[in-house]
Structure 1
Amino acid sequence: MVSGVALICDSNMQIRSVVYNGMENVLKIETGLHFFKLLDQGSLEKATNFIGELKQKRAAFNWEVNFKLGLGIKALYLSGSIIDSDYILVFVETQEDAYQFYEDLMNINSEHIVSVRAAFKETSKYMLESSYNKKVCDDLNVLNNELATMQREISKKNMELNRLYSKLNGELEKARILHQRSLPKQLPEKDGVKFTAHYQPAENLGGDFYNVINLGDKYIIYISDVSGHGIDSAMLTVFIKEAINSYLALSHDQEELLTPGRILRHLAVRARNENFPDDYFICILLGVYYQNTNEFVYSSMGMQVPPLMFSGKTGACELSSGNLPLSKAIEFDMFQFEEWSVSLEAPATLLLATDGLTEQFNKGVQYEERLKELFRREMSSPGSDLMEVIRRDFEDFTGGREVSDDITILLMQVDHKKTCAHE
């Protein structure tokens, strides 16, 4: 017969009868003893939960509980059922022994055989309903072993992922520093021409860029937005800056008029030679301000946010922009390098921005129209003041929540009195 113990307890878990004790040599059981006295102190909470399930479902099967056997502690498997007001408890040494032990009990000549048979029937029903049988236990053991193997593999993969994440974060930090260093530390301000900028990346590493280059009486002004964020975007912004700088320093014919169309054509040729992937896109608006004539000539590739302008001659207006973005996926012959020309007769203000500012929504309202109205109202404010008004208004519009795209604003202001003095 399988080594095990069968008890009958009352609802307070006092032992009323010992049906069978196959562990008598290490476990002495007396009637009237509380069942919990047989257990190790550390298993009392688990045993309480077992009784809870027993009361709820009328049966419970194969709970591993620590018993005090002789001078030591041993884990046994506890099962039970409630018949009338009796709690029939059975515990054995292994999970596989439980079902056999119930069958063995059927052959014992005992006054409690009726209760034991009823308990066996109730527990068998529970085992079937809960899919507890030897085959299922074997299957579960196999699954547990497979799960343990998978967990070890997952642990190894997690360690490798952590290593790769650490390496990637290091690369991202290097790219962030590279992008940050590429941004102009100070913008030109002389002879009545002043520039103010605001840059807010959506992530630690953004895809927007801006720059202003002063060459005598000319200013090259540009703002760009490249596809994506991260290392690729940082690489593209550095490429834009280097390509434009190289054109101004090496490729531009000093006898030839410096125009935005020629600069963007050079940028497009360089990008084609770099063999960037098809899904790399560069949107850029670049202009040249000729201070001696107050003329601002600009060209756009994919920049859909129209510049806003105010001048003493024309008042407030919205300028043209657009055209195709720079990408290898677009045939080179389709690029137009179209130029537009406006007069920035002092006092004048020019606002350039990326779509991270204008395409923000709040309750179905887009910020673009609000920005235009704000510009018309505040256009004559000094650059730093106007920038602060826009920044505060945008924060109020979004409710201070994080935005999903980079925000770049570049303001140019021409002062009437100072430009006259310069002339």
Structure 2
Amino acid sequence: MSFLRQKIIFTLALNTVLLGLISFGLAYTSSFFRSDLIIQLSIGLGFFCLSEIFLLLLKINHPLKIVTNEMKALLTGKTYKKIMTSKRNEIGILAHFFNEITKNLENISSDVKEHQRIKKELNTAQKIQRDLLPEKSPSIPFLDIVAKTRPASEIGGDTFNFFPGEKRSLIYIGDSTGHGIPAGIIMIMVDTLITTFINMFPSPVEVMTKLNKYLKPHLQKTMFMTMILLDWDHNSKMKWVGAGHEHVIVARTNESKVTSTRSGGIAIGMLADNSALVKEQEVILNEDDFVILFSDGIVEAKNVMGEIYGLERLELVIKKSITSQITSQELFDKIAIDVGRFMEGHFQEDDMTLIVIKKTSHEVTTKLDTSWTN
């Protein structure tokens, strides 16, 4: 039985006992006087009893009204206040419960607002990243190019771009540490600097060394980016410089031969001066030959058993697929399908970027979309 109910019953019982004692004490008086006195005392005790109950109900209803008013304010989205009470009865428990609930709701509301703020920032950064990535593959003389990226989160760390020119064109692929906002920031900085340096320095070696020089002071110790920068002479020679990125794969269609070459160099941002490690390499491409660039999200993709896709499997898919008739898009699809089947049932842990380039004997005008949706 509750404390308040006990108090009300006790008040009623006390008044009943008092009335009984008065009746017993008046048993020896005259009947008229006794009856009149008992009636008056009963009325007085009745009023006393009612007043006691009223005061008790007032004590209940006033705090209860405060609690209900604050709850109503909370539920209707209006301003509410913490209920201050020292009572240890049901009302006190209810007030304490209300205060705890509102405290938790305020914490949740704060978390929601912070989540909304972060989401807004992510959306902004994501839009900036999408704007920096080319929407379609460019038209570069004698090259059929398909390039697509699929981030593992809202903001990926993989990036690529094309810089077509009159006598030469440049292509780069980059992969910054991790993914999310920090990776996206590195990508934005690198893309902006490369766009500037390509017009300032004719050699890809100079572009790579200058990029590292200007970027290093602005990066944290754990932030860096691997990269490959290709330089195409619009004829048959393709040069490249690497910054600790994945292999460059060259597929000779007429020979059914696939060769993987280390990109060389060291990741951008790891050393203050990378000039001693940046070396230029080159390859002469024949008609129908392929060059494949990729990020580590491809070769390090895992299946449900925890096995890694690996470079050898990628080379094997390419070797089985290349013919003089196959297009860059078709080879891209075969690689993407094989990686997808291998990963089936396992989530994508890292950003994946794949660029397939085919040397052609004619101008390719088709500009393919760069979004990787499947």
TM-score range, shorter chain: 0.5 to 0.7
Q: Does 1:347 align with 2:288?
A: yes
Q: Residues 174 and 335 (structure 1 numbering): CA distance in 2 closer, same or farther, change over 3 Å?
A: farther
Give the conservation status (yes or no) of the 8 Å contact 1:259–1:297: no
| 3-state SS, counterpart of residue 337 of structure 1 | coil
Matches within 5 A, 1:375-414: 375-380=318-323, 381-399=326-344, 401-414=346-359
Contact 2:238–2:284 under 8 Å retained in 1: yes
Q: Tell me the secondary structure at the aligned position of residue 145 of structure 2.
A: strand
CA distance in structure 1 between the partners assigned to 2:114 and 2:340 by the alignment = 36
Q: Report the AA paired with residue 359 of structure 1.
A: E
Higher relative contact order (CA 8 A, sep 6+): 2
Distance 1:22 1:271, change over 3 A: closer
Number of the residue aligned with 2:17: none
2:237 is matched with 295
Q: Deviations over 1:215-259 (max 9, x none)?
A: 12322111111123233222221211111111123x22xxxxx33
Q: For structure 1, list consecutive stretches of 5 or more residues without a partner in the other structure.
A: 6-20, 27-69, 75-137, 253-257
Aligned in 2, Cα 1:356/1:143: closer, same or farther, shift over 3 Å? Answer: farther
Counterpart pick for 1:227 among 161, 177, 180: 177
Q: Match of 2:27?
A: none
TM-score after normalising by structure 2 = 0.67
**Structure 2: which amino acid aligns with 1:260?**
P
Seq. identity, %: 18
Deviation at 1:161, TM superposition (A): 2.2
Contact 1:208 1:407 in 2 (8 A): yes
Name the CA distance, whole Å, in 2 between partners of 1:360 and 1:3: 67
Corresponding position of 2:131: 181
1:400 CA drift (Å): 5.3
Name the CA distance, whole Å, in 1 between partners of 2:228 and 2:113. 40
Match for 2:195 among 239, 242, 245?
Answer: 245
Aligned to 1:330: 271
User: Deviations along 1:188-216, whole A, 9 cap, x unmatched?
Assistant: 23543111012111112111101121112
What residue is the counterpart of 1:307 in the other structure? Answer: 248
Q: Which amino acid aligns with 2:321?
A: E
Aligned to 1:41: none
TM-score by length of 1: 0.60
List runs of 5+ in structure 2 lacking aligned partners.
Answer: 15-52, 58-87, 364-374
Question: Is the 2:295–2:352 Cα contact (8 Å) retained in structure 1?
Answer: yes
Q: 2-side partners of 1:3 and 1:330: how far apart?
A: 76
Which residue in the other structure is 1:43 paired with? none
Q: Which is strand-richer, 1 or 2?
A: 1
Aligned to 1:319: 261
Q: Deviations over 1:368-418 (max 9, x none)?
A: 222111011112321111111111111111115430111100111101x33
Alignment partner, residue 222 of structure 2:
279
Could you tell me whether the CA contact under 8 Å between 1:3 and 1:22 is conserved in 2?
no
Q: Distance in 1 between matches of 2:92 and 2:266?
A: 61
Report the aligned-residue RMSD.
3.4
Superposed CA deviations along residues 331-389 of structure 1, whole A, max 9, x for unmatched, are: 42575112222111222101100011110122243212221110111123211111111
Distance 1:218 1:333 in 2: 25
Alpha-carbon contact 2:243-2:268 (below 8 Å) kept: yes
Q: Tell me if the contact between 1:188 and 1:194 (Cα under 8 Å) persists in the aligned partners.
A: no
After superposition, what is the alpha-carbon deviation per residue over 1:9-50, rounded to whole angstroms, capped at 9, x for unaligned?
Answer: xxxxxxxxxxxx978869xxxxxxxxxxxxxxxxxxxxxxxx
Q: How far off its partner does 1:149 sit? A: 5.4
SS of match in other structure, 2:179? coil
